[in-house]
Amino acid sequence: MASTGMKAGPDLTEAFRSPVSRPPSAWQKNFDVAFKYLAHAFGAGVVLLLGGVVFEVMRHAKTAIADYGFKFLTTSTWDANRADFGILPEILGTLYTSILALGMGGFLGITVALVLSQGFVPRKVELAMKNVIELLAAIPSVVYGLWGIFVLVPLLRGPAGWLNEHFESIPFFSTRLSGPGILPAALVLSIMILPTVTAISREAMAAVPKRLAAAAYGLGATRWEVIFNVTLPTSAGGIFGALVLGFGRALGETMALAMLVGNANVFGFSLFSPGNTLAALLANHFPEAGNVEVGALMYAALVLMLITLAVNALGSWIMLHATRELKGLG
């Protein structure tokens, strides 16, 4: 349907010309029914797509599950030649890097959300900052990986060496940073989840009824007293949901980790030691995997899928309840 003349509106000239009381023709009726079924079919197609993703991964993982069973999750060898596979270091590495990233990215993300929602800066600056944070999310993760290799890792080498020399007894600093490792990976990961945390928690803070904060200001509270006693407790549900969704994002992020985590099949608490994650394992082994290894990788993909789906479902559920709770306050 051409919409010439009028902007942002359908062309009604033809409709005006046709007799108003004419019932739809047979063709129009058939088209109506066909279109309805088509829409339903495509809607169901989205369900089938998700089902297909889950089913395909499970189908290909079936033999590996039968072969390696539960031992797959609790052992740490990855040897394609002897068909001996275990993903314990990857599971721990995935959780460890994501928790570290959540600690840093979550804290910064909530702080930025406060600055963007509580009138700290003029409206124009607020908008500019919001755009900059959104751009952070637009940069492809492989570019962050490249930046991490050539900017972040050299930058960290000095402080990491110093910490290792002086505080070697603390487990976090017990090894040297030889290049890629847990810390640079977690740092880049925190940059990548920051926009998610900021966007969602900012919305939760903005949804706090203005009169609540105004009442506290009226009692003589300072800005931060209002934030700690009114804004944060009221929007806590939404902020928690934002953190969970950010965590879900961190768990599944691949490229920055594949490039920065070191791909060593070990797990240690040292921030400077290399490690591995489930997503990075898939990225590094899939392209050259033989039949046996593909089975094991499918099993690993299934584990990753179950973890991320559970975390994301939890996050969505929290968000749903957080918005419902706020509705009663307006």
Partner 1 sequence: MAHAATNPQEIPAQQSSFRKSLSEPRTLVNTALTVLALLFSVFAMFPLFSVLYMLLAKGATQLSLSLFTELTPGAGMEGGGIGNAIVGTLVVVAVSTVLALPLGFMGAVYLAEYGGESKLAVVVRFCGKVLTGLPSILAGVFAYAMVVVTTGSFSALAGGAAMAVLMIPTVMLTAESALRAVPSKMKMAAFGMGATRAQVVTKIVIPTAIPGILTGVMLALARAMGETAPLLFTALFSDYWFGGELLKPIASLSVLIYNFAGSPFEHQIALAWAASLVLVTIVLVLNVIAQIVTRRPEEH
Instruction: Establish if 317 lies at the interface with partner 1 (CB under 8 A).
Output: no
DSSP 84: E
Instruction: Establish if 286 lies at the interface with partner 1 (CB under 8 A).
Output: yes
Among 87, 258, 261, 318, binds partner 1 (CB under 8 A): 258
Q: Which is nearer to partner 1, 22 or 82 (CB)?
A: 22
Instruction: Establish if 287 lies at the interface with partner 1 (CB under 8 A).
Output: yes
Which of 64, 66, 56, 69 minimizes the C-alpha distance to 291? 64
Number of residues that bind partner 1 (CB under 8 A): 103
Residues in 129-148 that interact with partner 1 by CB under 8 A: 129, 132-136, 138-147
The residue type of 139 is I
Instruction: Establish if 228 lies at the interface with partner 1 (CB under 8 A).
Output: yes
Only one of the segments 7-15, 69-77, 80-88, 267-275 lies at the binding site for partner 1 (rule: CB under 8 A); that segment is: 7-15
Among 97, 243, 253, 276, binds partner 1 (CB under 8 A): 253
Rounded Cα gap, residues 259 and 178, in angstroms: 14
Residues in 159-178 that interact with partner 1 by CB under 8 A: none
User: And the tokens for 145?
Assistant: 């990986």
Residues in 98-117 that interact with partner 1 by CB under 8 A: 108-109, 111-112, 114-115
Which of 311, 272, 91 minimizes the C-alpha distance to 186? 272
Residues in 51-90 that interact with partner 1 by CB under 8 A: 52-53, 56-57, 59-60
Alpha helices in the chain (DSSP H): 13-17, 26-68, 71-74, 88-117, 123-138, 141-147, 153-166, 182-206, 210-218, 223-226, 232-234, 236-252, 255-260, 278-285, 291-327
Residues in 187-226 that interact with partner 1 by CB under 8 A: 191, 194, 206, 216, 219-220, 222-225
Question: Nearest approach, Cβ of 306 to partner 1 (angstroms)?
Answer: 11
Instruction: Establish if 326 lies at the interface with partner 1 (CB under 8 A).
Output: no
Instruction: Establish if 271 lies at the interface with partner 1 (CB under 8 A).
Output: no
Residue 52 neighbours by CB distance under 10 Å: 11
The residue type of 324 is R
Instruction: Establish if 50 lies at the interface with partner 1 (CB under 8 A).
Output: yes
Residue 143 neighbours by CB distance under 10 Å: 11
CB 60 within 8 A of CB 294: yes
